[in-house]
Amino acid sequence: MTDTTRAPQREATSVDDAGRTPEPSRASRPETATIDAAGHAALDRPVVPLRHPLRWIAAALVLVMLLNFVETLFTNQQWGWPAVGKWLFSPAVLTGLQLTLTATALSAVISFAGGVVVAIARLSQNPVLSGLAWGYVWLFRSVPLILVLVFLYNLGSLYPTIGIGIPFGPQFQVPTANVLGDLAIGVIGLSLSEIAYASEIVRAGVLAVDHGQHEAAQALGLPRRRQFVRVILPQALRSIVPAFVNQVVGLLKASSLLFYVSLLDLFGVVQNLSSTYPTDIIPLLVVATIWYLVLTSAVSIVQYYVERWTARGSVRALPPTPFQRVRAAVRRGSGRGSGRPGGPDRARQAASAARVVASGPASTIDDRTI
C-alpha cells in the first residue's frame, strides 16, 4: 500500500500546545499519517461497531439451559400442577395470605415509626437517650425473632399475672395469658425486632443527608423538630426507602414464624395443609412460592413509585416510568402502522417532509407522521 494520495491539508507533523514539534520518527510512520484510496472510499460508509460473537454464544447457552429447566417444569409429574391449580385460590390459602399481608402491613408501619423514634434517640445529644437507643438496637438485633415470639407468647410462664397497683397495697391484676390476642402478640414481636433494624436504616439515611442542609436549617432558626421533619427526613427518605423496603420484603417471609403464636400465615397454612394432604406437599410449596413472587413484585412496584416521589428534588427531570415507555412505544408503533399501508401515504409523507425543508423553521409538522 503506497501512499500516493495525500490530502493537501493533512500535515505529517503536528504542533502541540507548547509550540514544540514531536520527534520526526513518529511523523514518518505511514499508517498513522495517511489513508489510501480504499480508505478514502470507505469514508462515506458508516463505521462498523465491534461485534461480540462470544457473548451471543454464551447467552444462547444460558437460554438453552433455562428452557431445559422450564421443560422439566412441564414434564416432571412431581410438580403436581393440577394440584397447584386446585390450591392456589383455595379459602385456606387465601386466609393465610390475608394474615401475611395484615401482619406485614401492621409491622411495617409500626417498625417505621418506631425506627424513626429510636434513630432520633440514637442521634440525640442526650447520652441517656442515645445509650438506651443503642441498647435497644443491640438487644433486638441479637435475639432471634423466634425467641422474641417465644418469650412474648409465653410471658405467662414468667409472669402469671400482669397488673398495676399501689406498691405493697391493693393491686389490679389480670392473668397474663388473656391480656393480648395472638395477632397483637405476633405483630408486637415482629415489630420489636424490626424496629431495631429499621432504626439503623433511618439513621443511615439521616447521616447521608448533606451537612449543609443541617446548617441551612439551623441558620434559618428552624426549631429542632421542624428541622428534622421538614428538611432532613424528606431527604433522608431517598436513602431509607430502598433499604427499608428490603426489610418489608423480609417481613413478608418472617411472618411465617407466626405459627409460633398459633397463627397460620401463608406458609403456615401451606405446611398445615401439607400434613392433612401429604400427597400435595410439593404442589403446596409451589403455591406458596407463586404467592410470594406475586407479593414481592407488588411491593417492588410500589417501591418504584415511592422512590420516584422521594427523588423529586434530587434529579433535574425524572426518567419515564416503564409504563410510560411502553405507552410511548405503542403510540410510535401505531403512528408508523397508520402510515404503512401503501404508497399514497408515503408520498404524502415525503411531500410534507419536503415542504418542511422548504419552509424552514416556521413550519408545522404533523405529529402523527413522525
Partner 1 sequence: MSAAISIHGAVKAFGDTVVVDGVDLSLPSGSVTVVLGPSGSGKSTLLRAINHLEPLDRGVVTVGGETIGVRLRTGRDGVPRWKELPERHILRQRSRIGFVFQHFNLFPHLTALENVAEGPIAAGVSRAVARDRAAALLERVGLGDRGDTRPRQLSGGQQQRVAIARALALEPSVVLLDEPTSALDPELVGEVLGVIRGLADTGTTLVIVTHEIAFAREVADHVVFLDHGRVVEQGPPAQVLDHPQHTRTRDFLSRVR
Partner 2 sequence: MSTITPARWRNRAGFLVLAAGVVVALAGCSAGASADTSGAPDGSVTIGAASNGAAKETTLEVTEDTKLHDALPAAVRKSGKLTIGVGALPAGFPPLAFTGDDQKTITGSEPDLGRLVAAKLGLRADVQNATWDNLFVGIDSGKYDAGFSNVTVTEQRKEKYDFASYRQDNLAFQVLASSSLRFDGDPSVLAGKTLSVSSGTNQENILLEWQKELRSKGKDFTIKYYPDGNAVRLALDSGKIDAYFGPNPTIAYQNTQSKSTAKPTTTAGTYSGAGSSLQGLIAATTKQDSGIAKPVAAAINELIEDGTYAKWLAAYNLSNEAVKTSEVNPEGLPLDNS
Q: Is 234 in the site for partner 1 (CB under 8 A)?
A: yes
Check residue 259 for interaction with partner 2 (CB under 8 A): yes
> What's the grid cell of residue 64?
438453552
218 binding partner 1? (CB under 8 A)? yes
User: H or E segment at 164?
Assistant: strand 161-165
Closest CA to 136 of 200, 183, 207: 200
Among 80-88, 89-97, 186-194, 212-220, which window interacts with partner 1 (CB under 8 A)? 212-220
Can residue 308 be called a binding residue for partner 1 (CB under 8 A)? no
In the complex with partner 1, which residue's Cβ is closer, 231 or 245? 231
Residues 325-344 binding partner 1 (CB under 8 A) are none
Is 366 among the residues that bind partner 1 (CB under 8 A)?
A: no
Q: Which stretch binds partner 1 (CB under 8 A): 156-164, 170-178, 309-317, 330-338?
A: 309-317
DSSP 13: S
Residue 123 Cβ vs partner 1, minimum distance, rounded to whole Å: 14
Compute the distance between CA of residue 193 and CA of residue 188 in angstroms, rounded to an integer: 9
Nearer to partner 1, 50 or 219 (CB): 219
Binding flag, residue 208, partner 1 (CB under 8 A):
no
Encode burial over 57-77: b for 16+ CB neighbours within 10 A, e otherwise: eeeeeeeeeeeeeeeeeeeee
Q: With binding defined as CB under 8 A, does residue 127 bind partner 1?
A: no
105: DSSP letter: H
| Neighbouring C-beta atoms of residue 194, cutoff 10 Å | 27
* From 45-53, 131-139, 310-318, 332-340, span contacting partner 1 (CB under 8 A): 310-318
**Residues between 269 and 308 that touch partner 2 (CB under 8 A):** 269, 271-279, 281-282
- 215 contacts partner 1 (rule: CB under 8 A): yes
- How many CA atoms are closer than 13 Å to the CA of 73, on its beta-carbon side? 8
CA–CA separation, 100 and 193 (whole Å) = 17
In this structure, are residues 143 and 135 in contact, taking their beta carbons and an 8 Å threshold?
A: no
Candidate segments 41-49, 193-201, 211-219, 270-278, binder of partner 1 by CB under 8 A = 211-219
What phi and psi, each to the nearest 5 degrees, are found at residue 143?
-75, 125
Residues 6+ apart with CB under 8 A from 203: 119, 122, 123
21 vs 98, which CB is nearer to partner 2?
A: 98
Residues 173-202 that bind partner 2 (CB under 8 A): 175-177, 180-184, 187-188
The sign of the CA dihedral 67, 71, 76, 80 is: positive
Residues that bind partner 2 in the complex, under the rule CB under 8 A: 77-78, 90-92, 95, 99, 102, 106, 109-110, 153-154, 156-157, 160, 175-177, 180-184, 187-188, 259-264, 267-269, 271-279, 281-282
Residues that bind partner 1 in the complex, under the rule CB under 8 A: 210, 212-213, 215-224, 226, 230-231, 234-235, 310, 312-317
